[in-house]
Structure 1
């Protein structure tokens, strides 16, 4: 081990990074809280509000929480309440929040993977990862390159469309294209149009690029990296990659079919649209609930069956170490395979000829149950503070916890107490799942003894 000043300096930096990452329950929430407070303060600057004067504290803070947690729920209209300066602050908070959650979640995943030891890594056929300053730099650079690449490509298409088809001047088209591209890849759902994307419901050059950016951001950084490797053949895919990709495809197809079945002829939503518009609307209705928050229909007029399907898609969310929220696809599918193997009487959960450790199953169960608890508590509090129906309140709670940003239109009129509840749900849903999952994995310690077993009556 080198002892010179330079190596000693690097060692101190490495130790700082390790201390930061080995205490995710403290480090991650504190870092995001600081960004949220800073964003709220910036949004209260008079130059950030359209009609002058400082924004209301609750609205500025709510917008900052929603942007940093890449949710998209709003208490004021982004297009008319905030100036371009204020919108720029929101865009910066979205980028910081999305980049931060991707890098932190990925670095925590590397740390957790290293903690399982060499034997576990060889069994999983994964690389031997080290966690030093060089790894941190490499992860930051690769996340930034992927994020900026997708955002730039999406912004280019959207800018050209806004400029050519909607007679916007080049500067306005560029701003609209850039804002919506960053909001889409980060699964934020903020829009510079008062009706979100309803006005573009039949325009494939707007809806499709935004949907593709949402899907890419929701897959997660580890999946995007693996898909760009030379050995990308499905036979070489890891279990995580299989679960994320196949799970995403399954949910997209199921969501499309169910959304189309419930809304195809509904006069308030897809009914008046052309065939192309109905297909685009059904596709968007399957993609956007996966924590994106955009909407091309009015969910306040959607059928109850559609809201139920949307609730399920929102709660599941997207891929791990990505910009999506929810309990994550891998969590949902690991629990599904655990139930399937239990029904078949197997004592070992296997996926793609690989066994899933009992600790991973316990972590998945913990994340899912904690998510359910957060939604239930949030829903009960909203019912106490408002007069809205359970259907609308539940939709709002899940949307906040899963950092989706969809609403049936009640967010604007919520009392301050209800807004605080939604802020807590957004923060918990964005930071809590990552912190809890990594903390559970890092806290795992093998016992040197086993207690006598007993079988309580189940069911």
Structure 2
């Protein structure tokens, strides 16, 4: 199955890991009270951890024992790094080398185009010969970033009154949850005690930002730092689009919530821009929040819906349709408006098959969100704005919630768990796996143009 369909193999392994973690979390030893949790809550938490989403149906700070928390932490690390990438890292550690099959598996995980159309052109971000270096970058970057974040967060927790063991454990938990873009919070009070603390919020925001860039971007930046090599179009599009969305998101939240006394309006003027910037970064897929999302206005929720749907960078710990997908769609619209035959960015031409893939990803994503929203509305009859927000958060593996998720009936939890699964597996991988066959058409039919618009 690995050779014939990497997409189906990825989904199979991913699903098996979810089921395995579900069984572990359902054990009495995984719960602090020793009574265990219902199967639906164990499944939902397992999906949320492996899919690095952060949505919860139980109190993460009080429900799980040390055994359960360790299992969840391992699950979100595996989900964040990527199943196939992690498998290749382990294979490299055992055999000291990567075979062609292992390289192809890792390449598929870092570039979904390889799953969709096979080997891709030279212009893609990661070449097959770079996979060994990429895997080393993944392993090193995960270790360095999470340990550095831990070293930054632990002193702040000690100052806040945590004992050394609790500060170290929860500091690493915060670091791993931030870099993997999961958004699980190990403290009972959540982030409420740090809502005006620039040190703590900056550390978490940096972790989320780095995780949302994607390992190919981190790899390219590390290579640029050492050798001053040219940055690819993928890297430039990811960085530029991420920055633009961050600025627009910050301004939108700041303007729309400035006068809301239940959110930003209740904070000091100097704190409001920090909170808006923090929430804008969290829409990349972070899931942390210092305010009550349910108290936000409908206009702000809609703006955050759009930001969450886009998500972060390709092959990152973030979800959504990805920032490069949005960039390609914008470039296509720009080329059409200018009358150009080709999409262009940074003095490079972008092939049309990338546009087709971007459109496919967007349509699949919108279809999943629409179907899930209709199903949740049917079983809960909750307001559309709240349902749409939590469904998009689940699809984009973001983790921000209006509070609806915790009150869902069991049927709603299963629906949202399936949405998280589909969002993390990836629309391209899912489409390729569901296809009856992957074949190339050896002929072209006669052309005829329908009327559009």
List alignment gaps of at least 5 residues for structure 1.
1-18
Cα 1:300–1:117 change in 2 (3 A) is closer
Question: Match for 1:227 among 187, 209, 221?
Answer: 221
Cα 1:127–1:362 change in 2 (3 A) is closer
Deviation of the 1:445 alpha carbon? 6.6
List alignment gaps of at least 5 residues for structure 2.
87-104
Partner of residue 13, structure 1: none
Asked if 1:160 corresponds to 2:155, the answer is yes
Partner of residue 100, structure 2: none
Cα 1:320–1:252 change in 2 (3 A) is same
Partner of residue 367, structure 2: 373
Determine if contact 2:310/2:322 at 8 Å carries over to the other structure. yes
Asked if 1:388 corresponds to 2:382, the answer is yes
TM-score using structure 1 length: 0.88
Aligned residues: 432
Question: Match for 2:21 among 39, 46, 54?
Answer: 39
CA distance in 2, matches of 1:257, 1:439: 40
Determine if contact 1:155/1:177 at 8 Å carries over to the other structure. yes
CA distance in 1, matches of 2:376, 2:125: 45
Determine if contact 1:256/1:285 at 8 Å carries over to the other structure. yes
Question: Match for 1:145 among 119, 127, 140?
Answer: 140
CA distance in 1, matches of 2:127, 2:45: 41
Asked if 1:56 corresponds to 2:38, the answer is yes
Deviation of the 1:102 alpha carbon? 7.8
Determine if contact 2:285/2:311 at 8 Å carries over to the other structure. yes
Determine if contact 1:314/1:404 at 8 Å carries over to the other structure. yes
Deviation of the 1:229 alpha carbon? 1.6
The worse-fitting range, judged by mean Cα deviation, of 392-401 and 352-361 is 352-361
Cα 1:239–1:438 change in 2 (3 A) is farther
Determine if contact 2:134/2:219 at 8 Å carries over to the other structure. no
Asked if 1:298 corresponds to 2:297, the answer is no
Partner of residue 107, structure 2: 107
Asked if 1:273 corresponds to 2:254, the answer is no
Question: Match for 2:447 among 433, 441, 453?
Answer: 453
Cα 1:291–1:386 change in 2 (3 A) is same
Cα 1:232–1:362 change in 2 (3 A) is farther
Asked if 1:174 corresponds to 2:173, the answer is no
CA distance in 1, matches of 2:177, 2:374: 30
> Tell me, what secondary structure is at the counterpart of 2:449?
coil
CA distance in 2, matches of 1:331, 1:101: 22
CA distance in 2, matches of 1:298, 1:193: 16
User: RMSD value over aligned CA atoms?
Assistant: 2.6
Deviation of the 1:448 alpha carbon? 4.8
Deviation of the 1:84 alpha carbon? 2.4
The worse-fitting range, judged by mean Cα deviation, of 54-63 and 178-187 is 54-63
Asked if 1:129 corresponds to 2:128, the answer is yes
Asked if 1:82 corresponds to 2:64, the answer is yes
TM-score using structure 2 length: 0.89
Asked if 1:358 corresponds to 2:352, the answer is yes
